[in-house]
Structure 1
Amino acid sequence: MELTYQKDCTNIDWDRVPELLNKVGMSSVDADKHRISFENSYAVVFVFDEKKMIGLGRSISDGVRQTALYDIAIDPTYQGHGIGRKVVDILLDATPDCNFVLYASPGKEDFYRKLGFKKMKTGMMIFADPKRMEDGVFVDK
């Protein structure tokens, strides 16, 4: 494995982003919306094994108090090698004095607990497409 971590959106194959998110069981939109999301983020990271994108993540932030982490995904064949931890570390280092929030995919909570994240009792959200969230996986009914 020869991994590189890229911290900008230069020469990204945007079709690979929803493909990778779907591969790990995360929701996705069309490639152009992902491009817009990443280009408008405070910090981004893309992980490559040679030329193949095998991981990614992004954060949005005010840069001084609050940061939210999104779209953290590592190709399942590469999981368990510390790549996800490195992606999170790169994003945390971009805004070191901030509070960090994220919502984890079901089943991934223990990964984030190992990195120091705590489950919040007061997290709330309004979804743009509430019908997608009616299954009770992400929100209480």
Structure 2
Amino acid sequence: MPISWSFDIESIDWQVLEDLYRVAPLGNKSAAQLQTVFTNSRFKCFAYNGTELVGAGRALADGADCSYICDVAVLPTWQGTGLGKGIVNRLVEASSDHKKIILYAVPGKELFYKKLGFLRMLTAMAIFKDSDAAIARGHLSKT
């Protein structure tokens, strides 16, 4: 069955989305948190195999200068099939009128995003709520 795409949140089952992020694995994000962040994101992308949600992603964007692609998740059984690439490409296309498109990658996935045209930022900085945990996971460096 071919993948179908949706770009709005009207029919999202937030519990199913929570389960997707947990098994992807992109951490434990509650249904309520996901509803908040997707509602507040300018662009959304959902991939379905029939009625099964198999992938998702979003982009925060200001409409002109900066779009930030984040939370790209694919069910493990669909990883390696090009689905993640499809989600990212659709979010990049939606963000194409922005001067810059930024993406936050899980450590170890940088090569995947490089193949999609992303380059490493040398000046990016961040403050995490739990910086010690972020350092341990490889998201931050004190150097």
Q: Which residue does the alignment assign to 2:32?
A: 32
Which amino acid letter does the alignment assign opposite residue 118 of structure 1? L
CA distance in 2 between partners of 1:61 and 1:15 (Å): 25
Instruction: Please give the per-residue CA displacement for 1:56-96, whole angstroms capped at 9, x wherever unaligned.
Output: 00000111110000110111211222211111111111121
Give the partner amino acid of 2:107. Answer: P
Residue number in structure 2 paired with 1:70: 70
Structure 1 residue 8 corresponds to structure 2 residue 3: no
Identity of aligned residues (%): 34
Q: Provide the residue aligned with 1:135 in structure 2.
A: 136
CA distance 1:111–1:134, change in 2 (3 Å): closer
Any stretches of 5+ residues in structure 2 without a counterpart?
none
Q: Match for residue 97 of structure 1?
A: 97
CA distance in 1, matches of 2:122, 2:135: 20
Q: Deviations over 1:16-75 (max 9, x none)?
A: 222212212212321111011101100001111001100000000111110000110111
- Give the aligned residue type for 1:36: T
1: CA distance, partners of 2:132 / 2:24: 22
TM superposition shift of 1:136: 5.0
Secondary structure in 1 matching 2:46 = strand
SS of the counterpart of 1:47?
strand
What CA distance in whole angstroms lies between the structure 1 residues aligned with 2:101 and 2:93? 11
Cα RMSD after superposing both structures: 1.4
Q: Tell me which amino acid in the other structure corresponds to 1:29.
A: K
Quick check: 2:42–2:59 contact (8 Å CA) kept in 1?
Answer: yes
Q: 4+ runs of 1 displaced by more than 4 Å?
A: none
Structure 1 counterpart SS, 2:14: coil
